[in-house]
Amino acid sequence: MFEELTTRFEVIFKRLRGHGKLTQSNIQEALKEVRRALLEADVNYKVVKDFVERIQTESLGQKVISSITPGQQMIKLVYDELVTLLGSEAQSVRFSSSSLTTWMLVGLQGSGKTTACGKLASHFRKKGKRPLLVAADVQRPAAVEQLKILGKGIDIEVFSSNHDPVNICRKALDMAREQGFDLTIIDTAGRLHVDDALMQELKQIKSEVKPEEVILVADAMTGQDAVNIAVTFEEKVGLDGIFLTKMDGDARGGAALSIKAACGKPIKFIGVGERLNQIELFYPDRMASRILGMGDVVSLVEKAQEAFASDEVEKLERKLRKERFTLSDFYQQLQQLKRMGPLESVLGMIPGLKMQALKGLRIDDKALTKVEAMINSMTPGEKERPEIIDGSRRKRIAAGSGTAVQDINRLLKQFGMMQRMLKDMNKVNFGKIPGGRFPF
């Protein structure tokens, strides 16, 4: 996410650090590079122009503070403007003051609308809501079936009917009220392009259900196309917020940086992976921090708290102190780590971790799956006492997990090194590490 832009900013600020103070000359030089970096990230030209002008005005009026470097001063200026550009502060979704809240998701075909419905339902059920998914997309073949499969996978009910979209929504709301649902999420139809028939249908549904939120689902990787689509939907239908999908695959970030300024509506959610739990609330200050390579400690801790159950962490700590960390414990930690999301996303939240240092590094999430397969092919006794795994056992484990004996050897060697490291840490009386202590 924002990898290219983050790398460019790191280079710009590094050059500034070589100067003794901010001057009009080095400010102009830095802003020229900032402008180029944003344009290459596919940020809207007018947005870039206004952004750079505001920073220039602010920087020339800044007093030189002896305790910080010019690079740090410029980072602060750029950070403040990025936060403003992204929406200033997080915008939460609205809930009805009555018993039933209705959200309507709109967007073009292929933007990830149906999956976004499932993500929102799953996320807010964890917050105590009882959601009902509504299959109102009768245009796309298999759209209703896709939503039903998603709903079944997360055990959330889906309403569908052989009526027109407006009647489907009306009947869904009646059922929701009768059966005690408190959140309905409507999956509307999309097209491959914006057309009058689509807009008319969406306006009819909006008029009928009077939703608390009309959320546009847009593909972040389409850059300025996503921005133009947002502007059109705001003009034709009226929006309350944006759900940007595929943010994990967007190295440039043009849509995220342009969309609020272009259509006036805030980004409320982002999709950071294909799984239904890979959804994040959008915080402008946290995102600006990530873009500038400063990490995002708050989100990292929140993810860790969600992934690592406190009772399991305490149990693991007791075992570590007794030097009884086994392959079973290792496997459990892998499961919890995977729940935090893709490793690249997690690494991007760590402050001080330079994107240039990660450039070219392939972080293969499938490697975790391979390790899981090897551990799952072991007997309970082998997991608890890896030292009993001899040559014949290694062959059996390799055959059972679809790996090679060399892979088993490597796993056991690395695990042995980890055990020795933990033993050494015990000797110096290790302290508690917030958010999950030892994730491996």
Tens of pLDDT, residue by residue over 349-366, are: 555 555 554 554 444 556
- Residue by residue, DSSP assigns 394-422 as HHHHHHHHT--HHHHHHHHHHHHHHHHHH
Mean pLDDT (whole number) for 397-407? 93
Look over the chain and give the mean of its residue pLDDT values, rounded to a whole number: 82
pLDDT of residue 67: 46
Select the highest-mean-pLDDT range: 71-80, 100-109, 241-250, 414-423.
100-109
Least confident range of 195-209, 241-255, 307-321: 307-321
How would residue 313 be classed by pLDDT, with cut points 50, 70 and 90? low
The DSSP 8-state label assigned to residue 226 in this structure reads: H
- Residue by residue, DSSP assigns 141-184 as TTHHHHHHHHHHHTT--EE--SS-HHHHHHHHHHHHHHHT--EE
For residue 96, the surrounding DSSP H or E stretch is none
Question: Residue 391 CB: number of other CB atoms within 10 A?
Answer: 9
The answer to whether the CB of 92 falls within 8 A of the CB of 123 is no
pLDDT of residue 440: 33
**Residue of 157 and 422 predicted with greater confidence:** 157
pLDDT of residue 344: 60
Select the highest-mean-pLDDT range: 215-229, 288-302, 336-350.
215-229
Report the alpha-carbon distance of residue 131 to residue 111 in Å, rounded.
22
Q: Which domains does the chain have, with CATH numbers?
A: 3-86 (1.20.120.140), 101-283 (3.40.50.300), 300-427 (1.10.260.30)
- Residue by residue, DSSP assigns 97-133 as SSS-EEEEEE--TTSSHHHHHHHHHHHHHTTT--EEE
Label the pairing between strands 183-187 and 101-106: parallel
For residue 18, the surrounding DSSP H or E stretch is none
How would residue 435 be classed by pLDDT, with cut points 50, 70 and 90? very low
pLDDT of residue 304: 56
**Residue of 57 and 93 predicted with greater confidence:** 93
Report the alpha-carbon distance of residue 150 to residue 157 in Å, rounded.
10
For residue 106, report the phi and psi dihedrals to the nearest 5 degrees.
-125, 165
pLDDT of residue 414: 82
How would residue 114 be classed by pLDDT, with cut points 50, 70 and 90? very high
The answer to whether the CB of 328 falls within 8 A of the CB of 382 is no
Over residues 2-41, the pLDDT tens digits come to: 788 888 888 888 887 766 667 778 888 889 999 999 998 8
* CA 283 centroid distance within chain: 11
Report the alpha-carbon distance of residue 361 to residue 8 in Å, rounded.
18
The answer to whether the CB of 257 falls within 8 A of the CB of 86 is yes
How would residue 328 be classed by pLDDT, with cut points 50, 70 and 90? confident
How would residue 307 be classed by pLDDT, with cut points 50, 70 and 90? low
- Residue by residue, DSSP assigns 317-333 as HHHHHTT---HHHHHHH
In angstroms, the first-to-last Cα distance of the chain is 25
